């Protein structure tokens, strides 16, 4: 029991590692902000393309979505970070992470948006058009608000997945939370900094997971 | 032309093909073991929750929340680097298998439980009224319906979890990504990474397409 506490919950080591981890957490937050915003915007564009009447546009969007949903995000990241330099494209770890995760997240968010838009009855668009709104206005003011409300829990749980995903950036030595914790682990030969990092992830993500669970229960009951 | 030389070099492909095929076997084995363990344990926990024991249910909920909120890579590093200090040496394969199984258990428990709570009370009453015990009603009437309802989200979650087998590369499991990254540094060519991407596509594109079909097929069951 004592070795267990010394290995995983060593408070001295945790307090030593804390400033480093805090710096890492700031980087994780920055990364999340960029990746989530880009993923949402890209996902919405892709969803609209996947529902467009133009056949070429529709099929290329669907192919893009399926392709990047089939590739593990870590494979994309390694490919962008260590593969692209062979083609003369050298990216900073931050850029590599943003690009790789954009490819992955935008296709996941696109699927969510597509389901949401599909669930809005066609009569809504028709009614909006009949009152004189343009196609774009009907989409922005009538269809999208309802679509987003339809899939809000899915959007939230996807966002949680994105935050969890940013921990993969440690593999390309971007100094985010997990990377900093693992650095502290290798210096101290002790797993406590990793446990501290786990605690910091839980602090942010547990409440979100609870909110999603409550939301889904509410839907199941209705 | 240089592009093909860099990313689709046939000589490099031929050299590393046997290793990569072996690695695909490791990835598939890890994936299948995780799927079986995760779904069975998740179903068992969801059924256990029906019994309504307060303390047990509290533990299940906390377990499911933590496993859904923590990034899997954090858990993998904690187990991989922490366990040896406790005198337990577990292989990288075992660590990835345990962590991914726990994660899938948590998600599938929530999915099955969500399905079970959506079963109308009349189903239970009818089962009991025909003389079935509570357990029999659960196994023959409630659970099959709950499972059917849960198939689309479960398929998505299984895909997401099996793609995480690529995390094994971080702790030296000889799966597709780690074999191809070391081949990439040995050969000084990006071709092995292309091969890795293709290997994942061979495994996951059929799975993604199947998931669309399944989603459509069970859409009306929910």
For domain B14-221, the CATH class is mainly alpha
Q: Which long-range contacts (CB under 8 A, 24 or more apart) does A118-123 make?
A: A118/A51, A119/A147, A119/A150, A119/A151, A120/A146, A120/A147, A120/A150
At A54-89, the pLDDT tens digits run 999 999 999 999 999 999 999 999 999 999 988 888
- Residue B196's pLDDT is 95
Buried b (16+ CB within 10 A) or exposed e, A36-49: bebbbebbbebbbb
Q: Residue A219 above 70 pLDDT?
A: no
Task: Provide the token pair at A182.
Answer: 């693992």
Nearby residues of B147 by Cβ (< 8 Å), 6 or more positions away: B43, B112, B115
Per-residue pLDDT band for A138 (boundaries 50, 70, 90) equals very high
- Percent of residues, chain B, with pLDDT higher than 70: 98
List of chain B residues whose C-beta atoms are within 8 Å of the C-beta of residue A167: 71, 73-74
pTM of the full structure: 0.90
Domain regions of chain B by residue span = 14-221
Q: Which chain B residue has its CA at the smallest distance from A84's CA?
A: B190
Q: How confident is the model at residue A176 (pLDDT cuts 50, 70, 90)?
A: very high
Q: Name which of A109, A106, A222, A104 is nearest A157 in CA terms.
A: A109
Q: Which residues of B touch A210 (CB under 8 A)?
A: 65
Contacts of B85 in chain A (CB under 8 A): 3, 6-7, 190-191
DSSP B197-213: HHHHHHHHHHHHHHHHH
A 128-167: CB under 8 A from B: 160-161, 163-167
For chain B, say whether A63 makes contact (Cβ under 8 Å).
no
Question: Can you give the pLDDT at residue A222?
Answer: 46
Show the domains of chain A with their CATH numbers. Answer: 8-221 (1.10.3720.10)
pLDDT in tens, A104-114: 999 999 999 99
Q: Contacts of residue B170 in chain A, CB cutoff 8 Å? A: 171
* C-beta of residue A99 within 8 angstroms of C-beta of residue A160: no
Name the token pair of A114.
């597509």
**Partner residue opposite A72 with nearest CB, options B81, B118, B200:** B200
Taking chain B (222 residues) in runs of 10, the rounded mean pLDDT of each run is 82 89 96 97 96 94 96 96 88 96 96 92 92 92 91 91 95 94 90 94 91 78 46
pLDDT by residue (tens digit) across B133-146? 999 999 999 999 99
A contacts of B164 (beta carbons < 8 Å)? 72
Helix (H, G, I), strand (E, B) or coil at B70: coil
Burial code (b: 16+ CB inside 10 Å, e: under 16) for B51-67 equals eeeeeebeebbeebbbb
**Rg (chain B; Cα; Å):** 21
Q: What pLDDT sits at residue B219? A: 64
Using H for helix, E for strand and C for coil, what is the string for A54-117? CHHHHHHHHHHHHHHHHCCHHHHHHHHHHHHHHHCCCCCHHHHHHHHHHHHHHHHHHHHHHHHH
Q: Which residues make Cβ contacts (< 8 Å) with residue B46, sequence separation at least 6?
A: B108, B109, B112, B113, B116, B146
Nearest Cα residue to A44 out of A126, A120, A140: A140
What is the mean predicted confidence (pLDDT) over A170-184? 94
Q: pLDDT tier at A6 (50, 70, 90 boundaries)?
A: confident
Which residue of A70, A171, A195 is in closest CB contact with B78? A195
Query: Cα A207–A213–A218 angle (5° rounding)?
Result: 130
**Cα B60 to the chain's mean position, in Å?**
19
pLDDT cut 90: percent of chain A above it: 82
Q: What is the pLDDT of residue B221?
A: 47
Query: What does each C-alpha distance from B47 to A183, A209, B66 come to in angstroms?
Result: 42, 22, 20
Please determine, for residue A172, whether its predicted confidence score (pLDDT) is greater than 60: yes
pLDDT at residue number B171 = 94
Q: Is A189 left (phi over 0), alpha (psi -120 to 50) or beta?
A: left
Nearest CA in chain A to B185: A82
End-to-end CA distance of chain A: 47
Alpha-carbon torsion (B171, B172, B173, B179), positive or negative: positive
Give the model's pLDDT for residue A220. 53
CA A148 from chain centre, in angstroms, equals 17
């Amino acid at each position: 029991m004592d070795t267990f506490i010394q290995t995983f919950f060593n408070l001295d080591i945790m307090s030593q590692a804390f400033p480093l981890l805090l710096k890492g957490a700031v980087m994780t937050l920055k990364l999340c902000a960029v990746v989530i915003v880009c993923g949402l915007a890209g996902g919405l564009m892709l969803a609209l393309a996947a529902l467009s009447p133009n056949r070429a546009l529709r099929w290329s969007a669907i192919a893009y979505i399926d392709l990047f949903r089939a590739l593990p995000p870590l494979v994309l990241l390694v490919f962008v970070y260590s593969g692209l330099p062979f083609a003369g494209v050298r990216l900073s770890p931050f850029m590599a992470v943003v690009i790789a995760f954009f490819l992955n997240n935008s296709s996941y968010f696109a699927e969510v948006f597509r389901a949401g838009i599909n669930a809005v009855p066609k009569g809504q668009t028709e009614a909006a058009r009949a009152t004189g709104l343009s196609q774009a206005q009907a989409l922005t003011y009538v269809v999208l608000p309802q679509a987003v409300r339809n899939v809000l829990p899915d959007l939230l749980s996807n966002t949680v997945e994105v935050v969890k995903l940013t921990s993969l950036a440690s593999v390309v030595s971007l100094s985010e939370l997990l990377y900093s914790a693992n650095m502290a682990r290798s210096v101290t030969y002790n797993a406590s900094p990793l446990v501290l990092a786990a605690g910091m992830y839980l602090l942010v993500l547990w409440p979100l997971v609870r909110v999603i669970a409550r939301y889904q229960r509410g839907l199941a009951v209705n | 032309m240089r592009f093909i030389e860099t990313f689709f070099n046939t000589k490099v492909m031929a050299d590393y093909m046997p290793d990569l095929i072996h690695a695909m076997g490791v990835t598939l084995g890890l994936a299948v073991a995780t799927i079986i363990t995760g779904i069975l344990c998740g179903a068992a926990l969801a059924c256990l929750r029906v019994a309504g024991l307060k303390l047990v249910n509290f533990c299940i909920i906390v377990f499911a929340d933590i496993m859904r909120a923590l990034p899997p890579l954090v858990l993998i590093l904690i187990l991989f680097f922490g366990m040896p200090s406790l005198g337990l040496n577990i292989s990288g394969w075992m660590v990835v298998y345990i962590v991914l199984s726990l994660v899938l258990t948590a998600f599938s428990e929530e999915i099955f439980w969500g399905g079970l709570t959506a079963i109308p009370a009349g189903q239970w009453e009818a089962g009991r009224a025909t003389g079935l015990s509570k357990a029999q009603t659960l196994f023959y009437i409630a659970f099959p319906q709950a499972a059917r309802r849960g198939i689309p989200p479960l398929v998505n979650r299984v895909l997401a979890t099996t793609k995480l087998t690529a995390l094994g590369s971080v702790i030296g499991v000889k799966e597709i990504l780690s074999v191809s990254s070391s081949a990439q540094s040995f050969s000084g060519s990006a071709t092995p990474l292309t091969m890795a991407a293709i290997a994942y596509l061979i495994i996951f594109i059929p799975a993604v397409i199947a998931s669309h079909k399944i989603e459509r097929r069970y859409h009306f069951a929910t």
